[in-house]
Amino acid sequence: MQLESTSGLILVVIFLATFIRSALGFGEALVAVPLLALLIPIETAAPLAVLVSITVAALILGQDWREVQMAGVSRLVLSTLPGIPVGLWLLIRVDEVVVKTILALVILLFSAYVLAGRAKLRLKGDRWAGAFGFMAGILGGAYGMNGPPLVLYGTFRDWSPEQFRATLQGYFLPASILGMIGYYLSGLWTREVTNLFLLTLPAVLIATLLGRSVTRRLPRERFVRWVHSALILIGLLLLGQGIWV
């Protein structure tokens, strides 16, 4: 399929993924990369998704930087770094099916527990941020899936929707920049990737603004339901991968 005939579909995918990321603070990679890979080579889709991630994070932080929980995000970012090589080891040494199935069950059980209105545990400070950041690093190093531990931490800290959305971007921005440096050094940041990014930029800007508008109108309880409904979807996708691999 020629790129010219797929441009419209690429725009739709990027718009949808960006809206999800802007509204919830996470989750766009699970939409963007698999769908883009149906339209363009994965070597193009992955760096394009990371460029979009950097843009969305920068836009959100530019608007809502005051909402970032700096103590928490700094500990999350720093503790992620030692987790990445552990994740790479896990990827090589441990059966992917086992890890994804266990992760899926943990996510499903916890999110179902939250949605049932039974989650009462609250963390009063950021002393546990390192543990959640380390887990995020492990999952990011192994499967490019940093999000679930960060979402669980935000739930335990009882962040408002604005704090939740902005603080996650404070984590994802440096992580995405490092990822893009890696793509550049490996030769995967090509002119085609840049051209596609520029093509999708208007859709990214519009979807980011729409997502922010939705978040600011959502009551806290509904936002929590949306977030954990999204996590359940992630858990089901992981479980499906574990079953069908």
| Paired tokens of 105 | 């069950």
Q: What is the pLDDT of residues 144-170, one digit of tens each?
A: 677 788 888 888 888 888 888 888 899
Q: How many domains does the chain have?
A: 1
Taking the C-alpha atoms of residue 124 and residue 15, their distance in angstroms, rounded to an integer, is 36
The pLDDT value given to residue 190: 92
| Paired tokens of 148 | 């679930």
Residue with tokens 């990369």: 33
| Paired tokens of 222 | 């509904």
**Residue 93 Cα distances to 17, 84, 88, 99, 131, angstroms:** 32, 14, 9, 11, 22
pLDDT at 207 over 90: yes
Better-predicted residue by pLDDT, 240 or 19: 19
Query: pLDDT > 90: what percent of the chain?
Result: 18
Considering only the C-alpha atoms of the chain, give the largest distance between any 2 of them, rounded to a whole number of Å.
Answer: 54
Handedness of CA 105, 108, 111, 116 (dihedral sign): negative
Mean pLDDT of 177-182: 84
The pLDDT value given to residue 70: 87
The pLDDT value given to residue 5: 64
Q: What is the pLDDT of residues 41-84, one digit of tens each?
A: 878 888 898 899 899 999 999 988 888 888 888 899 899 888 88
| Residue 39 lies in domain | 3-244
Taking the C-alpha atoms of residue 46 and residue 190, their distance in angstroms, rounded to an integer, is 12
